[in-house]
Amino acid sequence: MRQLAWLAVVLPLAACGSGGSGHSATLILNNPTWDRVNVQAVITTSPNCDNRDAYVSTEEFVMSKNKTQRIEAPKAENVCWRHDRNPNNPVPGVWSGWSRATMFPGQTFETEL
């Protein structure tokens, strides 16, 4: 009987934990350094940020100093981002290397460029 009572408590909790796989996650980028910087962000199902076949979406935006940008990953996919290689003298299409965050359902993750 005790085992049945214990099971009645554990099973609903397990169901709550496994049901979160469809929840979104949010990455918050901050630019503490440059007056203005171009940023490219990619939501991807791959841990390899260069794997374009796995891209869910791509976004390019400009960030001002001490401003943040929210990026929503609808199913908690990986979020990759990069910025101008030289933000003080930007050249279109010349990017830094990728940074990546592995997201989890319901997570909000904050980081700097």
Please tell me the predicted confidence (pLDDT) of residue 45. Answer: 97
Please tell me the predicted confidence (pLDDT) of residue 9. Answer: 37
CATH number for the domain including 96? Answer: 2.60.40.4150
16 falls within a domain: no
Domain containing 41 equals 21-112
Number of compact structural domains in the chain: 1
69-94 burial string, b = 16+ CB within 10 Å, else e? bebebeebbbbbbbbbeebeebeeee
Please tell me the predicted confidence (pLDDT) of residue 24. Answer: 95
Low-confidence ranges of the chain (pLDDT < 70): 1-22
Please tell me the predicted confidence (pLDDT) of residue 109. Answer: 95
